[in-house]
Structure 1
Amino acid sequence: MQLKLGTTLMLEPTYTDRVEKFRCKIVEQDNTILYIDYPVNTVTNKTAFLVDGSQFRASYTAEDKVSYAFNTEVLGRKLGNIPTIMLSCPPAEEFVKIQRREFVRVNTPVDIAIEYNNKFYQYVTDDISAGGVAIHLNKDLPFMEDESVNLTIALPFINGEIRYVKTSAKLIRIIEKDRVRLASLQFMETDDLDKQYIVRFCFERQLSNRRKMEAN
């Protein structure tokens, strides 16, 4: 995938317990390698040191105002008039268009535990985003619309790790979809780190779903 020189990239660490973003620009490209200037932490405005082998989710906005994201890895450094960091650049089919709405929603089954009145109820999601979930109603809900509940969501990642996200939510509505009853829940209080896990999970699943469609 050929990217325009001077394009600004936003880098978010893939495997970390910290919420960080780094801003950099593409200085050069050689087929599958991107050369970027030294990235700057968007909060501290300090130059960041990226360790070889560390992995990131990179995003950028193209000239047509459409935003894209892709997975990348630090490959090393190149000395020259402008010292640069080398990042891997995947093929075009590995780039995912970022939807303009705030939260990207993906259809995928995920185990979720709902706590209400000190009791736990197990469900499976129909879809998930950083803003909420829709769950399959294999049994009636013990709570009503606008009531607050606590959720524990198990997010299985491609590398084998499982992250447990805890957040509060409220029931928005119950809907019928293809003769299946679903409950739509909106997240109420999700900390930044857990939200980052959900965004990363949705990105991985979106990319995985695309690969499956292309394989068929």
Structure 2
Amino acid sequence: MNGLLPKINDNLYIQVSSGDASESEAEYRSRIAELEEDAFLIEIPIQESSGRLKRLNMGDELSVYYLTEGGIKNYFYSHVLGFKEDVIRMVRIRKPSPDSIVKIQRRSYLRVNAELELAAKTKSGRRFLVRTEDVGGGGASFLTDPGVALQVGDQLECWVLLAFRNGNIDHAAFDAEVVRMKTLESGRTLAMLKFSRISDGERQKIIRYCFERQFDFRNR
């Protein structure tokens, strides 16, 4: 099973759980310098866009991913166990168990069942508020509002409200196309959306939300 875990010299991409929304969105890169039985020793993480080093503290909660062949992102949770002073200062973080790692392929995004508030606006300017059935990095579905007639091919401007584990509430904005309409036994209609325009940052927020949900389901 150890083939799944990252190795010495592999890069890790890290987000630090923080009450400050902009801080918990920031992504840092680090490198595994040494392996211990239950921990990775990593270099001080750096934010590539600004060159800023991230000072970590004992107990900081981290959301981490590393890349494997084909651009697959392997996500896991970890926390800071301590530090090691050597030629360079290293941070000791908890090594995950291989079965807690969630793989997300770039093409097929993780989807999770989630009731999230979704506000949408049609091309004609009609606005409505619904709750999602599921959401993922590539799209979402929701039970339609009986007062708003939708059909396949309709374009919507959407905002979805995301509540993260650390208590932060954020929203992600995107444009989407209705790709399928399905009538349920209850008589309600389910609309399935595919994102037609979404920035990487907004998509990352949704993927992070899905990853947290997946992780919560798994640890119940």
Shift of 1:79: 0.7
Q: Structure 1 residues 31, 146: closer, same or farther in 2, change over 3 A? A: same
Question: What letter matches 1:114 in structure 2?
Answer: A
Do the aligned partners of 2:128 and 2:145 also contact (CA within 8 Å) in 1?
no
Candidates 145, 167, 174, aligned match of 2:152: 145
Give, as a single letter, the amino acid of the residue that structure 2 aligns with 1:123: V
- Whether 1:187 aligns to 2:195 is yes
Matched, 1:8 2:11: yes
Instruction: Could you tell me which runs of 5 or more consecutive residues in structure 1 were left unpaired when the two chains were aligned.
Output: none
| Residue 135 of structure 1, aligned match among 130, 142, 152 | 142
Give CA deviations for 1:119-139 in whole Å, capped at 9, x if unaligned. Answer: 432222222112211112363
Letter in 2 for 1:49: K
SS at match of 1:17: helix
What is the CA RMSD across the aligned residues, in angstroms?
A: 3.2
Partner of 1:17: 22
Letter in 2 for 1:5: I
Q: Aligned pair 1:208/2:177, yes or no?
A: no
With over 3 angstroms needed to count, the CA separation of the structure-2 counterparts of 1:100 and 1:120, relative to structure 1, is closer
Given the superposition, is the C-alpha separation of residues 209 and 196 from structure 1 closer, same or farther in structure 2, using an over 3 Å criterion? same
Match of 1:109 in 2: 115
- Are 1:152 and 1:164, in contact at CA under 8 Å, matched by a contact in 2? yes
Unpaired runs of 5+ in structure 2?
A: none
Alignment of 1:94 with 2:65, yes or no, is no
Structure 1 range deviating more: 126-135 or 156-165: 156-165
- What count of residue pairs does the alignment treat as equivalent? 211
Percent identical residues: 26
**Does structure 1 retain, via aligned residues, the 8 Å contact 2:28–2:54?**
no
CA separation of 1:120 and 1:21: change in aligned 2, threshold 3 A:
same
* Per-residue CA distance 1:46-94 (angstroms, 9 max, x = gap): 3622331544321124589965210223344321134212223343443
Which residue of 52, 55, 80 maps to 1:50? 55
TM-score of the superposed pair, with normalisation by structure 1? 0.78
**One-letter amino acid of the counterpart of residue 183, structure 1:** A
Rounded to whole Å, the distance in 1 between the matches of 2:101 and 2:86 is 29
